[in-house]
Amino acid sequence: MEATAPVAATTAPIPALTPQNAWQPLPASEWNAAAARHLLRRAAWSAQPAEVERAVAEGLPATLNRLFPEKPTRFPRPESIDHLVEAMPSFNTRLRATTDAFEKRAIQKERRDREQSVQQETTIKWLQFALRPEVSAQEKWTLFLSDIYVVSFEKVRNPGFIHLHHAILREHGLGSAPALAKAVSRSPAMIRYLDLQESKKSAPNENFARELFELFTLGEGNYTEQDIKQAARAFTGYRVSTNPSGARAAAQKSKAGRGAGGFYFDSRQHDTGSKTVFGSTGNYTGDDIIDLVYKQPAAATFIPHEMARFYLTDAPFPREYLATLGSWWASQSFNLRALARRFFGSRLFYAPAYVGNCIKCPFQFYFGLLQDLNLDVTPIPRQTISPLRQMGQMPFQPPNVRGWVGGRHWINSATLAARRQLVQNLFTPFKESNLNADEQLEIASSRAAGRDRFYIDTSRLQRFSKTPPVDIADTFLKTFLTGTPSPAYREEVIRFITGDKKPVQHLARVRDAGIALLQSPGYQLC
Amino acid sequence: MNHRTSSLPTTRREFLKLTTGGIGLLAFSNFAPSFLIESVRASTPRPERDRSILVIVQLAGGNDGLNTVIPYEDAHYYRLRPTLGIPKDKVLRLTDTMGLHPGCSELNALFKDGKLGIIQNVGYPNPNRSHFRGTEIWETATDSDKFVSTGWIGRFLDNTCAGSPELDAAADPSAINLGSELPQTYLAAQAHSTFSLSPGQLRRSAGRNLAFLESLVKTPADANAQAGAHDNETYLKQTMMDALVTEKRVQKILSGYKPGAAYPGSTFGQSLRSIAGLIAANLSTRVYFVSLGSFDTHANQSNTHQNLMRTLSEGLAAFQKDLEAHGLADQVMTMTFSEFGRRPMENESKGTDHGTAAPLFVMGSKIKGGLHGTAPSLNLQRNQDLAYSTDFRQVYSTVLQRWFDCQTAPGILGDTFKPLGFV
């Protein structure tokens, strides 16, 4: 049984730290393996021993520079998106050529199915990309931003636009926050997702302006309905072209989206009149509105607050601590990289209350499992994307514009069962001859690329065949759990692996011990 | 320690034995199932057993209502369905004008016995044709332009359980879902015990592995654990323990269950068998949810829909018969819903596209059978959709007010919806 609605938690205490000193850098003397493990688990997907060692040797500031680099690593656009873009004109020609409503629908359905399968393929490629340890922190940061600047494939329906949106988040994600907001306002996926496309001079659509204030930059209570109405007028004329060869698309500047169609500005649909927003009046453009947003006090604490929720705790976070971080951030011209380094390098980030008490999101649970077990992404949607959906986090399809709520909302009896099942699957070899032809091709091409570890089988457990149960238990506990195991807990694991000492059963017990530890409550936390 | 048998309590009596046998209740409370703790503290009696129960059957994908309940005397029907129309002589006649799909012979018999009600032409204003959004509208019971995060049953639980914590402390879940994804119907503002049982879950969770997992859940993991104000580990342990204990109870109940009817082997039939078993075990659970999929019949729908109708009909009839054999039929009402009906005019792929209103079924010994509401007018242009005549929230309102005897239906549904005559 589970609670359908998690009980509200109380404020976590932050002992010995004041709002003034909480964000000061962690003293070098406190930087050690335990701290490095905490950083790697929270900022990325897992703490691999080699990565921990490297982080300790390099020191905290250098590690942060590496985790949050000045230049992002691009996630290349999969070729299947290019092919889809190339195929679009022919769909359009066929649609124009018929006047029959049924045939039109059949063509539209064919196009939808094609888009769906390209999106799935892109998702698998992204999972393979994000699993790489050197970009794990970057991709988690992109995930964090995409949980603020939410779009969903469910509505956008265009894999190229979804890819471009995340490329924008990556490109501007460690730059200036206002520049990020401006780039997102031109993201074709966002323009479609929040109906900016429909917004015209004579009938401005308020959806984007409302979410810009409420969910992207300021939060509820920091603007009026009048501000939204006026700001909506400034965002009129933002348009998206899906025609790659059209003249309009020539205006499209972004390299990532070249050939895919994209953003253009239709000045005829733009309301050039005077607007009053946050008490200021002028002939504002959309960009002007974003500059005005970042003059509001609430903008300085909004992203820090979102970071605390995503990276630190799902318990309410004390305002006075946000205020000090926010005012410091404003003084840094809202630079996101500076904010990330300050946040992850702070004394507060390493406070005991925040260690080992964060419920892993399904992505983190999945990536962490693969990294901890040294496995590759199985390039088969039903074995990889379906478990994510069952655990409650369908890639590129957040439930609504608020994104994933996270924290205790991830956990109910069904999602826990899905987590247990995923672990079980990763320890269960699948018969390749049972896969369909497409799936066998995917497996073959993954193998060719050197990614061929899809599950733990007996051969991979073989190295434990002569290891004493005590050592196996200690290895598992150290790798899989945060903190120091209690003697009773350790004893329990040793006793289980020891079993009745029949050697035939030894490896089966090692396997079962691994499965149970990865299914246990402790492994759901980081 | 013998790992093959778990030392976890599965019943209140076992639990009480444990707590008086030396393990302090407080020490145990960090990881014991919350319902056990609560009920021991409160020493509350179990809720009465003769409560009314609702079983919700989702027909996912958009069921073709027009080929489910067929206006076989209407020439427009055959005009709109030149290839998919069910010939008059194949239709299972309910009245002089309306009949059932030939795959529904068991439902036809139930109709004749007065145990099946058909509510005709159910929909809502400004219908949405997206699967996702359409389902959300039905599950959250809102206007098509309003978005809320709670489901109608979730809000019902909020209402009935508010101020009576002993209900939440009961050993049984308030609502059970057969499937791995929690239906939006159950999402609530307050915490309620719900349980999701996925079909594969039962087979796999037996044995040594599960017993070991349980012992890991029970044993304090961290040497330096400090009971913080916001302790997610305790939360996880409690949720997992609740899930494991309930899973085990459910497993025990179902493995020993002797149904009073032969169920079809379909997943749907087996899910209904499980529901009957849980009801027969006197769980105080009031709502069950089960989904039957693949109704999105855009192409060559004839065979697919025939099979779906048969699966539905055979499953529901076995369920009803089983409940009757156990003397439980008076307690249970079953209702179907689907996110939308399909377009009256068939498409060129011998299928149907997303539409609007459709009939839904209610089944039970205590319901008023027969046809309710009015049939849709089929005097339509090409590709025109049906105009609904009964709002789906009238159906919910009937269930809440007359079946559950819940006085706050307007609050739950956001407005007053006139109840229908099927209860």
What crossing angle do the helices spanning A487-498 and A503-519 adopt, rounded to 10°? 140
Residue of B196, B237, B343 to mutate for A, most A C-beta atoms under 10 A: B196
> Is the CB of residue A376 less than 8 Å away from at least one CB of chain B?
no
Which domains can be identified in chain B, with CATH numbers? 8-43 (no CATH), 52-413 (3.40.720)
Residue of B8, B133, B195, B236 to mutate for A, most A C-beta atoms under 10 A: B236
pLDDT of residue A7: 39
Yes or no: say if A6 and B230 are a contact pair by the CB < 8 Å rule.
no
pLDDT of residue A111: 92
Mean pLDDT over residues B25-44, rounded? 44
Mean pLDDT over residues A436-463, rounded? 93
Mean pLDDT over residues A263-281, rounded? 96
> Is the CB of residue B208 less than 8 Å away from at least one CB of chain A?
yes
pLDDT of residue B300: 85
Cα angle vertex A164, ends A160, A167, to 5°?
140
Contacts of residue A522 in chain B, CB cutoff 8 Å? Answer: 216, 221-222, 233
> Is the CB of residue A468 less than 8 Å away from at least one CB of chain B?
no
**Distance (Å, whole) CA B100 – CA B86:** 10
Q: B363: part of which helix (H) or strand (E)?
A: strand B358-363
On the question of pLDDT at B39 being above 50, the answer is no
pLDDT of residue A329: 98
Q: How far is A184 from chain B (nearest CA, A)?
A: 24
pLDDT of residue B202: 47
Q: What are phi and psi of A26, to 5 degrees?
A: -65, 130
What pLDDT digit, counting tens, does each position of A90-121 carry?
998 999 999 887 788 889 889 989 999 999 99
pLDDT of residue A331: 98
Report which of B56, B49, B112, B161 is spatially closest to residue B399, judged by C-alpha positions. B56
Q: Could you tell me the pLDDT band of residue A500, with boundaries at 50, 70 and 90?
A: confident
On the question of pLDDT at A9 being above 70, the answer is no
**Distance (Å, whole) CA B418 – CA B390:** 10
Mean pLDDT over residues A215-221, rounded? 94
Mean pLDDT over residues B12-38, rounded? 42
Average pLDDT, chain A: 91
On the question of pLDDT at A24 being above 60, the answer is yes
Q: Could you tell me the pLDDT band of residue B274, with boundaries at 50, 70 and 90?
A: very high
CB burial of B237-256 (b: ≥16 within 10 Å; e: otherwise) equals bbbbbbbbbbbbbbbebbee
On the question of pLDDT at A359 being above 90, the answer is yes
Q: Which two tokens stand for residue A276?
A: 């009053």
What pLDDT digit, counting tens, does each position of B112-161 carry?
999 999 999 999 999 988 787 899 899 999 998 887 878 999 999 988 86
Mean pLDDT over residues B233-250, rounded? 86
**Distance (Å, whole) CA B239 – CA B31:** 9
Contacts of residue A34 in chain B, CB cutoff 8 Å? Answer: none
What pLDDT digit, counting tens, does each position of B375-413 carry?
999 999 988 999 999 999 999 999 999 999 998 899 999
Q: Could you tell me the pLDDT band of residue B363, with boundaries at 50, 70 and 90?
A: very high
How many angstroms separate the Cα of A498 from the Cα of each of A293, A502, B3?
Answer: 62, 9, 12
- Contact map slice: A 319-358 vs B, CB within 8 A: 352-353, 356-358
Give the three-state DSSP class for B113: coil
DSSP 8-state class, residue A237: T
Q: Which two tokens stand for residue B359?
A: 């009939």
Q: How many residues does chain B have?
A: 423
Report which of A455, A461, A457 is spatially closest to residue A506, judged by C-alpha positions. A461
| Chain A, chain B: beta-carbon pairs less than 8 Å apart | 193
**Cβ-nearest to B208 among A105, A512, A517:** A512
Q: Which two tokens stand for residue B115?
A: 């145990």
Q: Could you tell me the pLDDT band of residue B231, with boundaries at 50, 70 and 90?
A: confident
> Is the CB of residue A8 less than 8 Å away from at least one CB of chain B?
no
The larger pLDDT score, comparing residue B247 to residue B261, is at B261
Report which of A469, A509, A463 is spatially closest to residue A490, judged by C-alpha positions. A469
Q: Which two tokens stand for residue B158?
A: 């909020």
Give the three-state DSSP class for B273: helix
Q: What percent of chain A is predicted at pLDDT more than 90?
A: 75
pLDDT of residue B170: 43
pLDDT of residue A361: 98
The region, left, alpha or beta by phi > 0 then psi within -120 to 50, assigned to residue A356 is left
Q: What percent of chain A is predicted at pLDDT more than 70?
A: 93
DSSP 8-state class, residue B256: T
On the question of pLDDT at B162 being above 60, the answer is no
pLDDT of residue B224: 76
> Is the CB of residue A61 less than 8 Å away from at least one CB of chain B?
no
Q: Could you tell me the pLDDT band of residue B194, with boundaries at 50, 70 and 90?
A: confident
- Whether the complex's predicted ipTM surpasses the cut of 0.95: no
The larger pLDDT score, comparing residue A13 to residue B317, is at B317
The larger pLDDT score, comparing residue B25 to residue A321, is at A321
Contact A315 B231 (CB under 8 A): no
Residue of A110, A207, A211, A413 to mutate for B, most B C-beta atoms under 10 A: A413
Q: Which residues pair with A185 in a beta bridge?
A: none
What pLDDT digit, counting tens, does each position of A50-62 carry?
999 999 999 999 9
- Comparing alpha-carbon positions, the chain A residue that sits nearest to B285 is A1
- Comparing alpha-carbon positions, the chain B residue that sits nearest to A491 is B219
Tokens 């309905």 found at? A225
- Comparing alpha-carbon positions, the chain A residue that sits nearest to B36 is A1
Q: What percent of chain B is predicted at pLDDT more than 90?
A: 59
Q: Say if strands B98-100 and B92-93 run parallel, antiparallel, or are unpaired.
A: antiparallel
What pLDDT digit, counting tens, does each position of A399-426 carry?
878 889 889 889 887 788 889 989 999 9
Cα angle vertex A300, ends A299, A306, to 5°?
80
**Distance (Å, whole) CA A463 – CA A452:** 19
> Is the CB of residue A109 less than 8 Å away from at least one CB of chain B?
yes
On the question of pLDDT at B169 being above 50, the answer is no
**Distance (Å, whole) CA A227 – CA A440:** 55
Q: Which two tokens stand for residue B112?
A: 């004749």
